[in-house]
Amino acid sequence: MEKDILRLLSENGRITAAEIAERLDKSEDKIKNIIEKLESEGIIKGYKAIIGESDLPGNMVRAIIEVRIRPERDGGFNHIAERIGKFNEVVSLYLVSGGYDLQLEVQGDTLQDVAEFVSSKLATIDGVISTATHFLLKKYKESGLILHNEEEYERLKVTP
């Protein structure tokens, strides 16, 4: 049941315990308890809204940054990654396979802010070999959600 609850919450973070209970045909109290447990165990880390890019507060600038790093003898990628992740500018951070190691999503008020962060903070970290910055121009889909409105098609109202 934990799996079902996590699925429903990741589809809609605002679904209430009562609605989950109805869907899964279980009691509301039981669902509430499980959600609390998932939260306290840190399986659920938080809840956030998905916002279309033009509606970002203050029209913030976002960039995807590819970073190549030199792994450390003891810490591997983790030590540097954790250090980078502590910057508030970094919205998301992933270790990836392929031509580079870390993929960051960085957010700032202006283009200059992001550029400044990359040149003065990120690129200067010991172990960072190179960075490539891609400014985000338009979001089409995020967290499984298509962000533009598709024309609705009306079905017949009664069919056998």
Partner 1 sequence: MKDLKSPLRDKIATHILNLPKSGIRDFFELVNSMDDNVISLGIGEPDFVTPWNIREATIYSMEKGHTSYTSNLGTLSLRKEICRYLDNDYGLNFNPVNECIVTVGVSEALDLIIRALVNPGDEIIYHEPCYVSYAAEISMAGGIPVPVITREENDFALDPDDVEKAITPKTKAILLNFPCNPTGATLSVEQKEKIAEIAIKNDIVVITDEIYSELTYEDVTPSIATLPGMKERTVFLHGFSKAYAMTGFRIGYGCGPSELIDAMMNIHQYTMLCASIIAQEAAEEALKNGKKEMIMMRTEYHERRNVIVKGLNEAGLHCYKPKGSFYVFPRIADTGLSSNEFATRLLKEQNVAVVPGTAFGSCGEGFVRCAYAASMGDLHEAVKRIKKFIDSL
Nearer to partner 1, 41 or 150 (CB): 150
Instruction: Report the 10 Å Cβ neighbour count for 131.
Output: 18
Is 160 a binder of partner 1 (CB under 8 A)? yes
CA distance 2 to 116: 43
Q: How far is the CB of 155 from partner 1 (least distance, A)?
A: 6
Residue 67 is encoded by which pair of tokens?
Answer: 């970073």
Is 137 a binder of partner 1 (CB under 8 A)? no
Q: How far is the CB of 129 from partner 1 (least distance, A)?
A: 39
**Residues near partner 1 (CB under 8 A), total:** 12
Site string for partner 1, 2-41 (x = CB under 8 A): -----------------x--xxxx----------------
| DSSP result, 7-75 | HHHHH-TT--HHHHHHHHT--HHHHHHHHHHHHHTTSS--------GGGSGGG-EEEEEEEEE--BTTT
Note the residues at the interface with partner 1 (CB under 8 A).
Answer: 19, 22-25, 153, 155-160
